[in-house]
Amino acid sequence: MNFRKFNTFIFDLDGTVWNWVHLFPGVDRVLNRLRKEDKQVIFLTNNTLFSRKGLLQKIHYFGLEAKLDEVIHPGLVACEFFKEKRGKLMVFSDGLKEDLKEAGIKVSHRLPVKYLLIGHDPKFDYKELTVATEALNKGAEFYSAATGRFFVWGNQMIPGTGAIVEVIEYESGKKSILLGKPSSFMNEMIKLFVESPRNKTVLIGDELLTDIITGKQLGYSTVLVKTGVDKKVGKIKPNAVLNSIADIKL
C-alpha cells in the first residue's frame, strides 16, 4: 500500500498503538514522521477505562504528541447524544462519568432511571449487575460504549466491555444500542474530525469487527495490524495487513 497518498491517518489505540502497558516498537517513529509530513493524525478508541482527557494524558505519558481534538472516544459521542435527552441517566464506567460530568450532564445512582449506559468498568460486580438489570426491567433504555470481547493488557487478553454488556443483555432480555465503533453515532462523529476526502484517509486497527468495519462503512482505506486481537483476515477483508504500525513506510 502506498501510504504517501493519504493525508489523514486514524489509529486505534489498544492493540494497535500500545498494549496498555507498553507502546509497541516503532510507533513513535512512525507518528513523528507523519507529523513532520504534516499529515492529520487521529486516535480513535472504544476504551472508556479513562475519560477522553485521561487517555490524552496516557498518550502524552508514552511521549507521543497529541491534542484533545485528535482523540475520538465514546465519551464524546455520549455527551453529544445525552445532552438533549430528558430523564435520569445511570452510567457504569468512571471514564464516561468524567466526560459526562465535564459536559454538565448529571448521572444518577438511584433507580428508576430513563437511560442506562455501560462502558469499561473493571469494578463491575454482582451487585451492579442486579442494579443494571433492574433498571432495564423498569423500562430504562439500554446503551453501550463498546461491545468488544477483549481488552489488550500487556501480554494478556482480558474481558472487554462486551463481556459486561452481554451478561446484562442475557439477564434483561434487552439488546443494547451501541454508541462506539462500529455505529452510525460514532461514524458521524468521526466525519466531523476528518479533514481529508475518503480516498485520502486510512484507518489502522487490530480488530476486524470494530476498526476495519468502521473504516469500510466510512469509505476509508483500512489496515489490520497483527499486534492485537485479530491475527488473520476472515470474511471482513482490510485493504492491507501489516505486522505492526512500524511497517508503515512513507
pLDDT in tens, 139-172: 999 999 999 988 889 888 889 999 999 999 999 9
pLDDT, average across residues 99-118: 96
pTM: 0.96
Are the C-beta atoms of residues 77 and 180 closer than 8 Å to each other?
yes
Q: Are residues 165 and 205 in the same domain?
A: no
What is the domain-level CATH number for residue 201?
Answer: 3.40.50.1000
pLDDT, average across residues 110-134: 96
Phi and psi, residue 217, nearest 5°:
-60, -35
Total domains, the chain: 2
Residue 58 belongs to some domain of the structure: no
Show the domain range for 98.
75-178
Q: Are residues 94 and 152 in the same domain?
A: yes
Strand partners, 40: 8
Q: What is the pLDDT of residue 47?
A: 96
Q: What is the pLDDT of residue 152?
A: 87
pLDDT band at 234; cut points 50, 70, 90: confident
Q: Are residues 42 and 95 in the same domain?
A: no
pLDDT, average across residues 12-21: 96
Q: What is the pLDDT of residue 155?
A: 87
pLDDT, average across residues 88-99: 97
User: Of 6-20, 123-137, 150-164, which range is least confident?
Assistant: 150-164
Q: What is the pLDDT of residue 151?
A: 85
Q: What is the pLDDT of residue 21?
A: 94
| Sign of the four-CA dihedral 11, 15, 20, 21 | negative
Are the C-beta atoms of residues 213 and 184 closer than 8 Å to each other?
no
Q: Are residues 96 and 84 in the same domain?
A: yes
pLDDT, average across residues 244-250: 95
Q: Are residues 189 and 154 in the same domain?
A: no
Predicted confidence (pLDDT) at residue 127 exceeds the cutoff of 90: yes
Q: What is the pLDDT of residues 188-211, one digit of tens each?
A: 999 999 999 999 999 999 999 999
Instruction: Look at 155 and 23; give whichever has higher pLDDT.
Output: 23
Predicted confidence (pLDDT) at residue 28 exceeds the cutoff of 90: yes
Residue 146 CA to residue 151 CA, distance in Å, equals 11
Predicted confidence (pLDDT) at residue 250 exceeds the cutoff of 90: no
pLDDT, average across residues 92-102: 97
Q: What is the pLDDT of residue 117?
A: 98
Q: What is the pLDDT of residues 67-84, one digit of tens each?
A: 999 999 999 999 999 998
Predicted confidence (pLDDT) at residue 22 exceeds the cutoff of 90: yes
Instruction: Please state whether the peptide bond connecting residue 182 to the residue before it is cis, i.e. omega within 30 degrees of 0.
Output: yes
pLDDT band at 45; cut points 50, 70, 90: very high
Chain position carrying cell 504534516: 38
Q: Are residues 195 and 230 in the same domain?
A: yes
Helix ranges restricted to H, 19-139: 27-36, 52-61, 74-82, 94-102, 126-137
Q: Are residues 166 and 191 in the same domain?
A: no
